[in-house]
Amino acid sequence: RMTGFFWMLGLTLLAQGFLCILGDVEVGCKKWVPDTQVKGNIKCVECRPGNRVAQQSGTNPQELCTPCERGTYTLKSLAFECASCTQCIALSHSNFSFPYFCGCKKGLRCGNAECSFCVDECGKGQEPTKKRDCAPCPKGTFNDQIHQKCKPFSTRCPDPTHIIVFKGNTSSDILCEFPQPPTTLPVTNPEKPGKRGTSGCC
Ligand SMILES: *[C@@H]1O[C@H](CO)[C@@H](O)[C@H](O)[C@H]1NC(C)=O
Ligand SMILES: *[C@@H]1O[C@H](CO)[C@@H](O)[C@H](O)[C@H]1NC(C)=O
């Protein structure tokens, strides 16, 4: 019974050690220079991604930078403070460790490079607008991608031997095919010539 207990304890410690190592990899300063003001100290010039400066000067690179707290992020290499994710959620690269980056929930996407806000993700047949929402493709255009600008329909088939078989819709360009040889239609009575405009009534 005791053996089982120690075995579990060992596993737990092992798991914790593993987590610490994973965490350590991404914490602290990446590049540093000697501190000209304080002998023996170093100053960080580049923190690890998602870390901010924690100490201006010190001896341990690990302690010079610290990961942004949950709900905050930085994309700068030497940030003195982390920016807060406003509409976005903080995401981690892995489920185990720092640092956090900003991302948006499913169905939304980052509105700028810093991801300081999220916008609706526009589907096919729509395009993102300046007002941060989605609008249907204007007449004469289509969009067959997620969250892209609508493009005008092609005016001709890429292969000149093809003919247009579908004139397109908001989510599809024109479709082209090689012309099919006429299929044999079931025989019908030939139409009688019309007697259009012969009544002379007016
Ligand atoms: C993190 O956890 C979530 C939910 O448990 C899972 O869906 C996702 O795949 C995990 N991500 C990584 C990088 O392990
Ligand atoms: C547009 O055309 C494509 C290709 O024929 C079709 O798959 C799609 O359902 C159509 N979409 C709409 C909104 O009519």
Relative to the CA of 95, which ligand 1 atom is closest?
A: 1
Nearest CA to ligand 2 atom 14: 169
Q: Does ligand 1 come within 6 angstroms of the Cβ of 106?
A: no
CATH 2.10.50 fits 25-118, yes or no: yes
Q: What does the domain layout of the chain look like in residue ranges?
A: 25-118
**Pair of tokens at residue 184:** 């044999």
Q: Is 52 helix (H, G, I), strand (E, B) or coil?
A: strand
**Pair of tokens at residue 168:** 């397109």
Beta-bridged to residue 134, according to DSSP, are 128
* Å from CA of 160 to ligand 2 middle: 24
Relative to the CA of 93, which ligand 1 atom is closest?
A: 13
| pLDDT value of residue 156 | 95
The answer to whether residues 122 and 147 touch, using CB atoms and an 8 Å cutoff, is yes
pTM of the model as a whole = 0.46
Amino acid occupying residue 137 = C
Relative to the CA of 125, which ligand 2 atom is closest?
A: 13
Per-residue pLDDT of the chain (202 residues; tens, 9 = 90+): 444 544 444 443 333 322 222 333 378 999 999 999 999 999 999 998 878 999 999 999 999 999 887 777 777 789 998 877 665 666 655 544 455 666 777 778 877 776 767 778 899 999 998 877 899 999 999 999 999 999 999 999 999 999 999 999 999 999 999 998 777 666 666 555 544 444 444 4
Q: Which ligand is nearest to the CA of 166?
A: 2
